[in-house]
Every structure is written in structure tokens, then in C-alpha cells.
């Protein structure tokens, strides 16, 4: 009887572990965040320090905090948000130990390339592409950033072999960059603008 009890316990333990493993295997990271936040963009960043604390230091270092608080020159902005790991990667590539070691003008230049002084949602961006071999821009749209411009386009994947029925992805390229990047978390709405969050592999040396 004791042997059977131990066997049953073993079977239950294996089932629990298997179910837990299945949950992990089926887990899909949906991005950094989404939804509507009834606060300023700056306050939103403060609620997500694991993604944005270095970004906040960079913003303050560049003298742009008021803009993200909604007290700057522009009432609404779209920020193609560079997150902590991208900033850390930039620091490692350029030999900086702290965010505040990055020259102020470099911080400001990076951020201003990624700020469009109006509110842009994914639904505002038309379908388009950049042809890989030629760099030709097809459809999409270009918007003036605080420095330079940003070319944006969306692409919709097929779903179950049905064209334009799947996920809509947003892509960007700055006018000074040679690489296109996908936005990983779209339409994070705040009272003074929209964050379109870039992925951890977003390379600041290539914008």
C-alpha cells in the first residue's frame, strides 16, 4: 500500500511539473507594455523602472524632462522609446560606465531623433516597406522628428493563409540611419503622447 501511495505521489508530481512546463513553453512575450495610462509619459516611465530607468537618466541628462512631463514646447509627442538594455549596449560599445558619462549633446541627439512632436498611433501609419537592396521607400509615411525625420511603415502578416488578416507590425528608420527596426510594443498611450517601444536589440549607433 505504501509503495502504491509513493507511486501515486510521483505521478502527481510529474503531472504538475509537466503542466508547469507546458505553460512556460507556450508563453509568449507580448512586449514591454500596452494600454492607456492616465498620467504623463514621465510618470509612466517611473512605473516601469526595469525598462525605463536608464532612459529617464538619459532624458534628464539631455535636459528634456519637461517635454516628457507634458510641460515642454510640444503638448503631444510620439517617442520611439529606447529602453535600458539598448542604452547599456550603447555604453558598452562606446566605453561609458554610466549614462551621465555620455556627452549631453550625444544624449540629446539620440533622443531628438526619436521624438515626433505629435501623437501617432499604429493605425495612423500606412502599409509600406523599404526595399532591402536599394533602400527605396515604398508607401509608409515620413514625419519630422525634433532632429531629422523618421520613416515609418506597417506590415500585416497573413493569418491561416489569409492575406492581411494577421498581426500588424510597425517599423521605423531615421533619415540618418541605415538599418530598419521593428517596434516591439506599440501604442502605449499617456496623457501627453504615445510611446512606441523599441526592442532590446535597438542599436543606437545605427540611428
* Cell numbers 561609458: residue: 96
Cα–Cα distance between 154 and 188 in angstroms, integer?
17
Query: Could you tell me which of 149, 154, 95 has the C-alpha nearest to residue 123?
Result: 154
Query: Where along the chain do its domains lie?
Result: 41-198
Query: Could you tell me which of 66, 83, 54, 29 has the C-alpha nearest to residue 195?
Result: 83
Q: CATH for 41-198?
A: 2.30.180.10
Pairing state between β 77-81 and 168-174 = unpaired
Q: With 80 as the cut, is the pLDDT of residue 157 above it?
A: no
Least confident of 16-30, 88-102, 193-207: 16-30
Query: What pTM did the predictor assign?
Result: 0.81
Query: Could you tell me which of 98, 58, 49 has the C-alpha nearest to residue 79?
Result: 58
Tens of pLDDT, residues 106-139 = 999 999 999 999 999 999 999 999 988 888 999 9
What is the structure's pLDDT at 9?
46
What are 198's strand-pairing partners?
Answer: 183
What is the structure's pLDDT at 146?
98
Confidence of residue 20 (pLDDT cuts 50, 70, 90): very low
Amino acid at each position: 500500500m505504501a509503495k502504491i501511495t509513493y507511486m501515486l505521489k510521483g505521478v502527481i508530481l510529474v503531472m504538475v511539473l509537466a503542466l508547469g512546463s507546458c505553460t512556460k513553453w507556450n508563453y509568449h512575450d507580448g512586449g514591454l507594455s500596452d494600454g492607456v495610462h492616465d498620467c504623463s509619459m514621465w510618470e509612466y516611465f517611473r512605473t516601469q523602472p526595469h525598462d525605463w530607468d536608464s532612459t529617464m537618466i538619459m532624458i534628464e541628462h539631455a535636459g528634456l524632462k519637461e517635454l516628457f512631463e507634458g510641460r515642454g514646447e510640444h503638448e503631444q509627442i510620439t517617442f520611439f522609446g529606447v529602453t535600458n538594455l539598448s542604452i547599456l549596449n550603447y555604453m558598452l560599445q562606446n566605453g561609458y560606465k554610466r549614462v551621465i558619462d555620455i556627452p549631453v549633446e550625444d544624449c540629446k541627439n539620440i533622443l531628438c531623433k526619436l521624438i515626433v512632436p505629435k501623437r501617432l498611433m499604429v493605425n495612423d501609419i500606412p502599409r509600406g516597406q523599404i526595399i532591402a537592396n536599394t533602400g527605396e521607400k515604398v508607401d509608409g509615411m515620413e514625419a519630422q522628428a525634433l532632429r531629422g525625420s523618421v520613416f515609418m511603415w506597417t506590415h500585416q502578416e497573413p493569418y491561416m493563409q489569409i492575406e492581411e488578416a494577421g498581426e500588424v507590425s510597425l517599423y521605423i528608420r531615421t533619415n540618418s540611419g541605415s538599418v530598419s527596426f521593428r517596434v516591439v510594443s506599440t501604442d502605449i498611450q499617456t496623457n501627453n503622447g504615445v510611446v512606441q517601444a523599441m526592442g532590446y536589440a535597438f542599436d543606437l549607433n545605427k540611428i
